[in-house]
A and B are shown apart, each in its own frame.
Chain A
Amino acid sequence: NAGVTQTPKFRVLKTGQSMTLLCAQDMNHEYMYWYRQDPGMGLRLIHYSVGEGTTAKGEVPDGYNVSRLKKQNFLLGLESAAPSQTSVYFCASSLSQVGGGTQYFGPGTRLLVL
């Protein structure tokens, strides 16, 4: 099992460019999440999905869109990148939310917006 994988690992964008981050999980998990991690801020939830075909906003959704067309994939899109979106992006998945709802994280995507 590969667990949670993220593509790409690193990307540099110019302001105004668009891109899509891909997250894939092979654990048959229902729940998937996109977080961003910034120094001193911890992990902040961008969007999440409770199942195939569903998406919902998290704490910091502005400037991002997501899609979950297949259960195993969760895509994060930046339509017009801004320097404030420079961050490390983590995808996570969980089997359920019961109790602690263990989340399994991918290795992260480092994004630099110039």
Chain B
Amino acid sequence: QKEVEQDPGPLSVPEGAIVSLNCTYSNSAFQYFMWYRQYSRKGPELLMYTYSSGNKEDGRFTAQVDKSSKYISLFIRDSQPSDSATYLCAMKETSYDKVIFGPGTSLSVIP
């Protein structure tokens, strides 16, 4: 079993839809949770960062962590074609640990 799992997709939604992207993980010691966005043929860029459980909102994006279920989510409201990318979840145990990335979910927002 991989340490961090994501549905690879591709996920295709119409413009304006609410998108839910999810990751499950097996290591209960993870405390830091990140979402990176990667456009085609580009390097990943940090989208959101959350510590421990709870929600965090930034514009159209909301990150949610449920440590009891070992499950994290990224919600995108009013999705735009420019949101079409691969979304990688990432996590680590402590500040000084290495980051473990999920395999990514490919999202396509259709105009």
Contact = CB atoms under 8 A, between A and B. Distances in A.
Task: Tell whether A pairs with B.
Answer: yes
Interface of A: 4, 35, 40-45, 48, 58-59, 90, 92, 97-108
A41 B95 CA distance: 24
B51 A99 contact: yes
B42 interface: yes
Nearest to A92: B43
Nearest to A6: B43
B98 A41 contact: no
Chain A interface SS verdict (over half): loop
Nearest to B91: A100
Contacts of B46: 100, 102-103
Contacts of B41: 107-108
19 contacts: A42-B102, A42-B103, A42-B104, A43-B88, A90-B44, A97-B96, A97-B97, A99-B49, A99-B95, A100-B34, A100-B46, A100-B49, A101-B32, A102-B49, A103-B44, A104-B45, A105-B45, A107-B42, A108-B42
Given A42-B101, A107-B41, 9 more contacts: A4-B43, A90-B43, A99-B32, A99-B49, A101-B92, A101-B99, A102-B46, A108-B41, A108-B42
B8 interface: yes
B79 to A, nearest CB: 23
B101 A43 contact: yes
B103 A40 contact: yes
B4 interface: yes
B8 A43 contact: no
A35 B99 CA distance: 11
